[in-house]
Structure 1
Amino acid sequence: MVVSYRKWLDRLRFLTLFIALTLALYHVMTWLDGWLEPRDKYREPHNQAVKAFRHAALPSERGTVGERLRLFYWYGE
């Protein structure tokens, strides 16, 4: 069995470059995620913006699960 050191060196170089570029891409994407994410995403909205999440259900929304699911599919929300 003939072992070619040149082939193994090329494979090792490729693997090292692949890992280095993968880590660099991961760090760039992490940096972009931190840059794009809002500072405080749970703060109260300003001006005329409305927060879409409600803690308590309104009396008009009470109903069976089937009715609520039917309305969900009907309105597409």
Structure 2
Amino acid sequence: MIVSIRKWIGRILFLLLFSMLLIIVTVGYRWLVEVVSPIHPYKKPEGHAMKVFDVDPEFPEGGNAADRLRWFYWYGE
């Protein structure tokens, strides 16, 4: 079996070049997504802004069927 060193060097160079270009494109894509993406929705508000979030609304106790149905349509529970 004859092993050509030139072919192997060419393959290794190709793999190195392909890997370098892949890394460059990946880093560029991540940078572009970071630049273009909107502001993070969960970051702490600045200035006089307040972030209000109701995690667990209370279930209406003693309500009739219409109240329960409104509750279901409003909160999806």
What interval of TM-score do these two structures reach, taking the shorter chain for normalisation? 0.5 to 0.7
Runs of 4+ in 1 over 6 A off after TM superposition: none
- Identity among equivalent positions (%) equals 32
TM-score (norm 1): 0.54
TM-score (norm 2): 0.54
Q: Which amino acid aligns with 2:13?
A: R
Q: Which is higher, the Rg of structure 1 or of structure 2?
A: 2
Indicate whether 1:59 and 2:70 are aligned.
yes
CA-based RMSD: 2.8
In structure 2, the partner of 1:34 is 34
* Stretches of structure 1 lacking an aligned partner (at least 5 in a row): 45-53, 66-77
Instruction: Tell me the CA shift for residue 38 of structure 1.
Output: 2.0
Between the two structures, name the one with larger relative contact order (CA 8 Å, sep ≥ 6). Answer: 2
Matched residue count? 54
